[in-house]
Chain A
Amino acid sequence: MRILLAEDDAETATYVQRGLSELGHVVTRVENGEDALHLAVTETFEALILDRMMPGMEGLDVLRRLRAAAVQVPVIVLTAKGGISDRVSGLDAGADDYLVKPFALAELVARLNALARRPPISEVVTRMEVGDIVLDVLRRSVTRAGRVLHLQPREFSLLEVLMRNSGRVVTRTMFLEQVWGFHFDPQTNIVESHLSRLRAKLRANFPDDPIETIRGAGYRMRTDD
């Protein structure tokens, strides 16, 4: 994946660049808003990682100008400000996701993957199939190998998130945000408890678990390919 990284803090930038390069991504690094805007408009990237606080043009200004210029590249905003209102302003400016520093690289990678392959909003997927599991969003029904599974509403939402990101890691905070709308991580691991119930239901009478735990990162829905 071609990624533009706009980050003025050399240490963070090196850390992110090294981590993403090891995963096979091509990272172009800039250190200020003007360069970020120039490159994002003139070249093609699959994702943009934008620091909020940069010398010269601020990250959110870059973002607003990009969106005004109809550049629809997925953007993750990085910020040292974990404030309650900061997230809203970031998303308002057109960010697709928002990550508060300091963050784990695994978190950034998971979110980057989720964004980069997200289908355009015009194609709303209402029926998903992964392996022998079929999820119908409109009828709110799930079957495995044709057998109907009775899921609780939260379990259904968890499975929906996993299936939309099948083959990719979904982190605990991504679950908390997308299933419950919580941007904090409770001390009690509520995601794991729900997931273990979901997995038990999916696994019942089947030899394999379609969901795997990725240590230190999150969970992933297995795909056949």
Chain B
Amino acid sequence: MTSLRTSAAYRIAFTYAAAFAAAVLLLGIAVYLAADLEFRRQRDQAISEEVADLARERDPRELEQEIAGREATRPTDSFGYALFDLQGRRIAGALDTPRPALGFSMIVFQDPVEGPDAARAKAVDLAGGRRLVVAVDSEAIEEIDETILTLFGIAFGVVLVIGAAGALILGRYLRARLSAISATTNAIIAGDANQRVPVGPRGDEFDVVATGINTMLDRIDGLMENLRQVSSDVAHDLRTPLLRLRNELEQVGKAEGSAERAIELGDDLLKLFAAILRIAEVEGGGLEQDFASVDLSSLAETVCDGFLPAVYDSDRTLSWSIVPSISVSGDRELLAQAMANLLDNAIVHTPPGTSIVLGLNAVDGMACLFVADNGPGVSPRDSARLTRRFFRGEASRTTPGNGLGLSLVAAVAHAHGGTIAVDGSQGLRVTISLPLLQK
């Protein structure tokens, strides 16, 4: 039973049931009081009408006969009559009671069967000091009141039983749904990071929460995986350039130009760290607050124009087809760097004579920017891993670069709410899709 008291689910369910029962109780009391009042009012009205009817009879003898007649013809449960003279003696009517005060009052009369009994009476004075009394037995209203109370009592009991049962069922249901979530989180805390919250088919609030938690867990998983991969890759991939730097330093003073080469190697290492930090910054999020409208078309134009002579000097060709006036919300610097990285890759990882194409168009509310080449492409296995940090295909082990270029492109695309797609089947084609600026 402690679980019943500490459980929020049961507390909510029982509180609701209790509130409902209280409302039913209030309603019952109100109905009972209103009905009782109305019955009493109607009874008093009936008495008044009867009194008025009889009082119209002026002649004393006629009145006595009328009373006797009514007593004879009416059923016993109806009115009782009494007519008193000036001295308070009952001169007509069967109602056995002392002379009551004027107006409405509660009286006690001698019922021939039940003995003393309570009744509601009205007394009026007639000519000649006579007093006419008409009374109705209270029993009828009391019986109705009792019936109402009994019915209501039964109904209230049923409400209590249904409410308690409903609360138990609802509480159990809520607890079951919630414990499915907490069981998953407990399993994850215990170390099983692959657990996911079961999502029902209805898409209700619990399913929305469950889906949200699962998405969050996937994201955390991705970040953790990234972290694991990066820390081991950093250690692994930094050893090579550091070793080369060390060897170069060993040559200082012995070989011509080794100091300059050592500085260059040091600069390359710094660039590598700058690239790692930049990716971390972009992936860390929170850049949106500095986002502004960027004319992607003119930026792509600027980048292509900037790369054209260098691409030409490397014995490759660069052409572009850019749909004008495509704007996105973003960071100009990062978007330019993403494009530059794609072009850098297309130059470095293809043989001379390769044609490189940059395209920009708008499809389904997305700005689609692609850089494609007709070089050797990459295997499907490698295309999936191309955006991973430090990943370098077998063919590019000897080319310059640090394996971070596409990671940054992917990070930039994601930071702008976009996606990246890599297709290495015919040459390499990398497409980034970014949501268009809503005007």
Show the binding face of A for B, using Cβ within 8 Å: 82-85, 88, 100, 102, 104, 154, 180-190, 192-194, 196-197, 216
Q: Min CB distance, A199 to chain B, in Å?
A: 12
Please tell me if B251 contacts chain A, counting CB pairs below 8 Å.
Answer: no
Task: Check A88/B277 contact, CB under 8 A, given A187-B344, A192-B310, A197-B309.
Answer: no
Asked if B287 and A180 make an inter-chain contact with CB atoms under 8 angstroms apart, the answer reads no
In the complex, residue of chain B having the shortest beta-carbon distance to the beta carbon of A101: B270
User: Among the listed B290, B312, B337, B343, which residue makes an inter-chain contact with A184, where contact means beta carbons less than 8 Å apart?
Assistant: B337
Q: Min CB distance, B220 to chain A, in Å?
A: 24
Q: Using Cβ atoms and an 8 Å threshold, which residues of chain A touch B278?
A: 82
Looking at chain B's contact residues, the main secondary structure is helix
Q: 1/0 contact trace for B270-290 toward A, CB 8 Å?
A: 110010011001000001011
Q: Using Cβ atoms and an 8 Å threshold, which residues of chain B touch A188?
A: 307, 310-311, 314, 340, 343-344, 347
Asked if A194 and B306 make an inter-chain contact with CB atoms under 8 angstroms apart, the answer reads yes
Q: Using Cβ atoms and an 8 Å threshold, which residues of chain B touch A82?
A: 274, 277-278
In the complex, residue of chain B having the shortest beta-carbon distance to the beta carbon of A154: B305
Q: Min CB distance, A120 to chain B, in Å?
A: 29
In the complex, residue of chain A having the shortest beta-carbon distance to the beta carbon of B336: A182
Q: Using Cβ atoms and an 8 Å threshold, which residues of chain B touch A194?
A: 306, 309
In the complex, residue of chain B having the shortest beta-carbon distance to the beta carbon of A89: B290
Could you say which interface size class chain B belongs to?
35 or more
Q: Using Cβ atoms and an 8 Å threshold, which residues of chain A touch B336?
A: 180, 182, 184
Please tell me if B93 contacts chain A, counting CB pairs below 8 Å.
Answer: no
User: Among the listed A104, A180, A185, which residue makes an inter-chain contact with B306, where contact means beta carbons less than 8 Å apart?
Assistant: A180
Q: 1/0 contact trace for B339-381 toward A, CB 8 Å?
A: 0110110011000000000000000000000000000000000
Q: Min CB distance, B158 to chain A, in Å?
A: 66
The contact sample of 8 A-B pairs, CB cut-off 8 A, is A82-B277, A83-B281, A85-B287, A154-B306, A188-B307, A188-B310, A188-B347, A192-B310
Task: Check A84/B277 contact, CB under 8 A, given A188-B307, A189-B310, A194-B306.
Answer: no
Show the binding face of B for A, using Cβ within 8 Å: 260, 263, 267, 270-271, 274, 277-278, 281, 287, 289-290, 302, 305-307, 309-314, 331-334, 336-337, 340-341, 343-344, 347-348, 400-401, 405
Distance in angstroms between the alpha carbons of A54 and B340 in the assembled complex: 35
Given A88-B290, A184-B333, A190-B307: 8 more A-B contacts, CB < 8 Å? A104-B267, A181-B332, A184-B337, A187-B341, A187-B401, A190-B309, A193-B312, A216-B263
- List the 9 closest A-B pairs by CB distance, nearest first: A193-B309, A193-B310, A186-B340, A187-B344, A190-B306, A190-B310, A184-B337, A188-B310, A85-B290
User: Among the listed B309, B312, B405, which residue makes an inter-chain contact with A187, where contact means beta carbons less than 8 Å apart?
Assistant: B405
Distance in angstroms between the alpha carbons of A104 and B268 in the assembled complex: 13
Asked if B313 and A193 make an inter-chain contact with CB atoms under 8 angstroms apart, the answer reads yes
Q: Using Cβ atoms and an 8 Å threshold, which residues of chain B touch A192?
A: 310
In the complex, residue of chain B having the shortest beta-carbon distance to the beta carbon of A186: B340
Q: Min CB distance, A181 to chain B, in Å?
A: 7
Q: Min CB distance, B80 to chain A, in Å?
A: 98
Q: Using Cβ atoms and an 8 Å threshold, which residues of chain B touch A182?
A: 333, 336-337, 340
Q: Min CB distance, A151 to chain B, in Å?
A: 13
Distance in angstroms between the alpha carbons of A216 and B333 in the assembled complex: 25
In the complex, residue of chain A having the shortest beta-carbon distance to the beta carbon of B277: A82
Q: Using Cβ atoms and an 8 Å threshold, which residues of chain B touch A102?
A: 270
Q: Min CB distance, B405 to chain A, in Å?
A: 7
Distance in angstroms between the alpha carbons of A67 and B94 in the assembled complex: 115
